[in-house]
Amino acid sequence: MNILVINAGSSSLKYQLFRMPDEKPVCTGLVERIGQADAFIRHKQWEGDAEKVTERTGGLPDHYASLHEVLAILATPGTGVISSPDDIAVVGHRVVHGGEQFADPTIITPAVKETIRTLFSLAPLHNPANYTCIEVAEKTFPHARQVAVFDTAFHQTMPPQAYRYALPESYYREKRIRVYGFHGTSHKYVTQKAMVWLQKPDAKLISIHLGNGCSMAAVDSGRSIDTSMGFGPLAGLIMGTRSGDIDPSVVFHLMESEGKTEAEISALLNKQSGLLGLTGTNDMRDIRKAVRASDAQATLACDLYAYRVRKYIGAYTAVLNGLDAIIFTAGVGENDVDIRESICQDLDYLGIRLDLEKNRTATPGLRAIQSADSRVAILVVPTNEELEIAQQCYRLPGT
């Protein structure tokens, strides 16, 4: 069964084509910096053991244009991996916010699409992009089954004391205002891998997903019991363009002192803050270059970023009443050795000790980077949201 997985982020789009049940992808691709002048696509496919790479740059103003370009590469005569759109049986879509309506992978219908639309305001950087990709895929692969896999689903196991806010009861009962959590597909995938590596199905884990969007999850025996993002994906850690945790009084102050509108404040906190607001760029690789050039603002941004993660590690260790491992994953978590080092410093009391040499030695796959005397494992686990989505689609009845 050919399953094409589309994973649209706020400024990126990843995709993989699987011939399930084979877990090795036929091809993979990444579109980065969508909407910027230096946007690019990097597509990889395999012919036997040989890897072929196709790269294209520029001309990608939005997710709609990006996905059209991706689909053109997939079907290029002579070099493409499909001969016609009918070769694709299922298109699996990562959708960020499913509210309380969706706790499982779901076949997409007009009613499901409309519900995704109603949740735009809760995930303004993602749900619109996810919706656009669904519409493009429906037109491009008219005979394929379209399936949505929701980031919020994994966190439906949280207890009420973790997902409820201290608001009047009616706001939950009638408006369903609560913590939903995100990056659930990634947190589920990497914690499952960690439990296998630890040979401990009842492991107490903290999953740290650091990309353009960032979140953490406290996971006990494979079940999410708390997470840093909340009603929408704005809360918690400092992110590429999102502020993370902020005193709501700041919002009231900006409305009163500067006359900012709801739309302006939403844009400020979701699109103009975080690393972008602190440094002028949301790309950690560019910020790292600035740190090496002794840029004080870039250094402060990295310190703030790491400090926020450390605070959550302490909180989640308390919530779990113990800790077997912390997991670094996603683009920054897997690749930025300096951020991992900054986060893990001064955590000796919790038994978390990093081996500096192991941290800086990159090897493929899951790797342990804690020192020999660390009581807690420190794991780098490459996430694979696309494979997790493909597996959920493959297991879904009706596909």
Catalytic positions are: 151
Q: Is 14 annotated as a binding residue?
A: yes
Q: Is 331 annotated as a binding residue?
A: yes
CA–CA separation, 346 vs 364, rounded Å?
28
Q: Is 211 annotated as a binding residue?
A: yes
Q: Is 285 annotated as a binding residue?
A: yes
Q: Is 332 annotated as a binding residue?
A: yes
Q: Is 270 annotated as a binding residue?
A: no
Q: Is 196 annotated as a binding residue?
A: no
Q: Is 213 annotated as a binding residue?
A: yes
Q: Is 7 annotated as a binding residue?
A: yes
Q: Is 210 annotated as a binding residue?
A: yes
Cα–Cα separations (whole angstroms), residue 394 to 68, 94, 105: 25, 14, 10
CA–CA separation, 204 vs 221, rounded Å?
6
Q: Is 212 annotated as a binding residue?
A: yes
CA–CA separation, 198 vs 297, rounded Å?
39
Binding-site residues for ATP sit at 14, 209-213, 283-285, 331-335
Annotated binding residues for substrate: 94
